[in-house]
Amino acid sequence: MWAGDPILRAVLAAVVVTAVATIAGVVALWPTGEGRRTAIANADEIGLVTDRLSATVEEVLDRRCSYSTEEDPQDCRTVTLIVHEGPEAGAIVVLPETNLRFDRSMPNLAVGDQVVLGYEDSTNFYFYADQDRRTSLLWLAGLFGVVVIALGRFRGVLALLAMAATLLVLVAFVAPSALDGNDPLLVAVVAASAIAFISLYMTHGFTPTTTVALAGTLAALGLTLGLSWMFFELAEFTGLATEEALILPFIAENLDVSALLLGGAVIGALGALDDVTVTQVATVAELRRHSPHLPTTELVASGIRVGRDHIASTVNTLLLAYAGASMPLILLFAVSDQPLDMVANSELIAVEIVRTLCGSIGLVAAVPITTALAAVVLRPLIAGDGAPPDGFAQSADPSPGPRTAQAVEEASEPPPRREPRWEDFGPTGDE
């Protein structure tokens, strides 16, 4: 198939070059672990590293605070727990009293609740860290896996494996490599390319359709990267607008936080790009299968018309995803009584605006890029390919005789229908 189609060979060559560059980037940027170990040591020095231990609530007692007075009565909560891990596993621990008026970090615990305690070994000090929600998360992950496999079957299994591989790339490569002092933007670009290769080929197989979708994804991702880099520079983002970003320079001195912010924008746009490109290639392939003689220009126009609705919903999806993650921040700005343009000017909001708009431009561009690429690969049938093109139907015999009634009936009968297969969505060797 590849050997007989020069356009497919060109697409494959570009994809192979990108794959080689990605592998070289992964090898060159592979973390040594030294940066992560140094960051952990630095975090430990400033008191950010503590143990996390599971525990069960034994008693919850609300009473007057020990420092309460008659003139200023205040209520406090004291929680008693049984620790299940750590140097004092099985021991009963009483947490420091919590002021119910001023301290909202302690939730309304009940006897039997599972929680996570923080433990500082140097001072033998316990404190409430979080609810223990690991069991519910495991149940949700199991339900998610069952639903995906029930609908997608073997392809659903492959999709779950691709998701696990994506998580592995982010945890094992991106974070440690950036902590090693490598350029976070370069690390993110290499990781995004690796994730695109892994997720698309693992989920959809090594088919021409997947390769065309991958080529469109990488092209649109490059456009998104260029736009994001330009507008991040124009907006002069520092990357230090959040509490987490302010802490990072203290534990990783060589980390470029602004480049890390830009790298996150690139990786964030990849998921939606995969969705758009795979859908567009499958749409064009299906249109070509049902209309083998449709001219390429009309095929592109039809594919783009289908993609418009997809883009309209996907752009709104990006906006809602970023806005939903920032709801508390949106509420705080709503009560700040500032003009809308000043709210948008703040780095916290401006970063999300640039991410949304640059990512959306990349998504919009992915439709014509991928549609045109797929339409060029899936060229219309020409005379001699098994069926003449529209408008050029003629007999091979220049002076044909009269057609029999049986021939007319056979020609008018529609071809037998069968269930479509994924392999049908790619060009065949005869095309």
Within 8 A by CB and 6+ apart from 184, the residues are 178, 255, 256, 259, 260, 262, 263
Closest CA to 292 of 207, 395, 390: 390
SS (H, E, C) 236-272: CCCCCCCHHHHHHHHHCCCCCHHHHHHHHHHHHHHHH
Average pLDDT over residues 23-42: 91
Q: Which amino acid is at 119?
A: Y
Just give the CATH number of 50-131: 2.40.50
Q: Return the pLDDT at 428.
A: 43
Whether the pLDDT of residue 422 is over 80: the answer is no
Q: Who wins on pLDDT, 364 or 334? A: 364
Predicted confidence (pLDDT) per residue in 100-120, tens digit? 888 877 788 899 999 999 998
Residue holding tokens 């003449």? Answer: 388
The answer to whether the beta carbons of residues 350 and 344 sit under 8 Å apart is yes
Whether the pLDDT of residue 178 is over 60: the answer is yes
pLDDT band at 269 (very low <50, low <70, confident <90, very high): confident
The answer to whether the beta carbons of residues 221 and 53 sit under 8 Å apart is no
Whether the pLDDT of residue 245 is over 60: the answer is yes
Predicted confidence (pLDDT) per residue in 273-329, tens digit? 888 888 889 889 888 888 888 888 888 888 888 888 777 777 777 677 767 767 777
Phi, psi of 299 (to 5 degrees): -65, -40
Q: Return the pLDDT at 322.
A: 67
Q: Who wins on pLDDT, 337 or 153? A: 153
Closest CA to 332 of 318, 319, 343: 343
Taking the C-alpha atoms of residue 310 and residue 329, their distance in angstroms, rounded to an integer, is 29
Q: Point out the least confidently predicted range of 58-62, 137-141, 360-364, 380-384.
A: 380-384
Whether the pLDDT of residue 267 is over 60: the answer is yes
Closest CA to 326 of 344, 348, 341: 348
pTM of the model: 0.77
How many other CB atoms sit within 10 Å of the CB of residue 347? 17
Cα dihedral 32/34/40/44 (nearest 10): 170
Domain definitions of the chain by residue range = 6-31+153-377, 50-131
Cα 122 to Cα 38, 50, 51, 87, 115, distances in angstroms = 20, 10, 11, 12, 22
Predicted confidence (pLDDT) per residue in 80-91, tens digit? 999 999 888 999
Please enumerate, as own/partner, the contacts of 11-16 that have beta carbons within 8 Å and a separation of 24 or more.
Answer: 11/211, 11/212, 11/215, 11/373, 11/377, 12/211, 14/215, 15/211, 15/214, 15/215, 15/218
Q: Point out the least confidently predicted range of 180-189, 230-239, 243-252, 259-268.
A: 243-252
Q: Return the pLDDT at 381.
A: 63
Residue percentage of the chain with pLDDT more than 90: 30
Average pLDDT over residues 166-171: 93
Q: Return the pLDDT at 9.
A: 82
Q: Return the pLDDT at 91.
A: 92
Q: Return the pLDDT at 382.
A: 55
Q: Which amino acid is at 351?
A: V
pLDDT band at 3 (very low <50, low <70, confident <90, very high): low
Whether the pLDDT of residue 386 is over 60: the answer is no
Q: For 6, what's the count of Cα atoms within 13 Å in the CB-facing half-sphere?
A: 0
Taking the C-alpha atoms of residue 383 and residue 390, their distance in angstroms, rounded to an integer, is 10
Average pLDDT, the chain: 81
Q: Who wins on pLDDT, 47 or 145? A: 145
Whether the pLDDT of residue 388 is over 50: the answer is no
Residue holding tokens 């302690």? Answer: 106
Q: Return the pLDDT at 239.
A: 80
Average pLDDT over residues 331-346: 78
Q: Who wins on pLDDT, 207 or 387? A: 207
Taking the C-alpha atoms of residue 262 and residue 69, their distance in angstroms, rounded to an integer, is 53
Polymer length in residues for the chain: 431
Q: Which amino acid is at 213?
A: A
